[in-house]
Amino acid sequence: MESLEDILGRHPFFAGFEAAHGRLVAGCARNVRFAAGQYLFREGDPADEFFLIRHGKVALELIEPGRPPVVFATLGEGEIVGASWLLPPYRWRLAARAVELTRAIGIDAACLRGKCEADHHLGYEMMKRFLPILVERLQATRLQLLDVYGKR
């Protein structure tokens, strides 16, 4: 049976990761599964675990008072769900809901934050991997904000 370390090692997010760092991250990881419709987390919850999707689809939602939730992005296989665990106050700013049966690796945020603090080389490697994801999502949000398909 594959270990979590093996699975994480093959995940694109950890491409080029040192084996020792892989072991450290795997020590904070667990397999998780979400049924369709189940929330991975909700806005305001403590950001104590983030997820690497192995299979399935997750919708990111924002709630407007008095309206149904607005889905502004979906994430699928190979993608990362959640960045609020990186920065204080470590609370989710949005909700994540499984659109279909979703299998993922959950990584304990407090555990990993502690290891990153103890080993800044590991922390820098994590930041180097998260920053491009955040920038890509920022760029995509800018394009969405332009509402380019509307009547102009």
Partner 1 sequence: MAAPDPFLPQPWRVERRRRELIGAVTLELAPLAGERPDFLPGQFNMLYVFGVGEVAISLSGDAERGTAFVHTVRNVGAVSGALTRLEVGASIGVRGPFGSGWPLAEAEGADVLLVAGGLGLAPLRPAVYALLARRERYGRVVIMVGSRSPEDILYRRELEHWRRRSDLEVLLTVDHADADWRGHVGVVPALIPHAGLDPVETLALVCGPEVMMRFTANALLAAGIRPERIHLSMERNMKCAVAQCGHCQFGPFFVCREGPVLRYDRIAGILAVPEI
Question: Taking the mean position of all CA atoms in its chain, how far away is CA 106?
Answer: 9
Of residues 25 and 58, the one with the C-beta less far from partner 1: 58
Identify which of residues 32 and 62 has a Cβ nearer to partner 1 in the complex: 62
Q: Is 41 exposed, middle or buried (0-12, 13-18, 19+ CB in 10 A)?
A: buried
Beta-sheet strands, E only, within the chain: 29-34, 39-41, 49-55, 57-62, 70-76, 80-81, 95-98, 102-108
| Alpha helix segments (H runs only) across the chain | 4-10, 19-26, 109-118, 120-146
**Contact string 13-32 vs partner 1 (x = CB under 8 A):** --------------------
Q: Which is nearer to partner 1, 59 or 122 (CB)?
A: 59
By the rule CB under 8 A, 38 interacts with partner 1 = no
Residues in 46-85 at the binding interface with partner 1, rule: CB under 8 A: 57, 59-61, 68-74, 76-78
Question: How many of the chain's residues bind partner 1 (CB under 8 A)?
Answer: 29
Q: Least distance to partner 1 from the beta carbon of 23, Å? A: 28
Q: State the helix-helix crossing angle for 19-26 and 120-146, rounded to 10 degrees.
A: 70
> Residues interacting with partner 1, by CB under 8 A?
57, 59-61, 68-74, 76-78, 97, 99-100, 136, 139-140, 143-144, 146-152
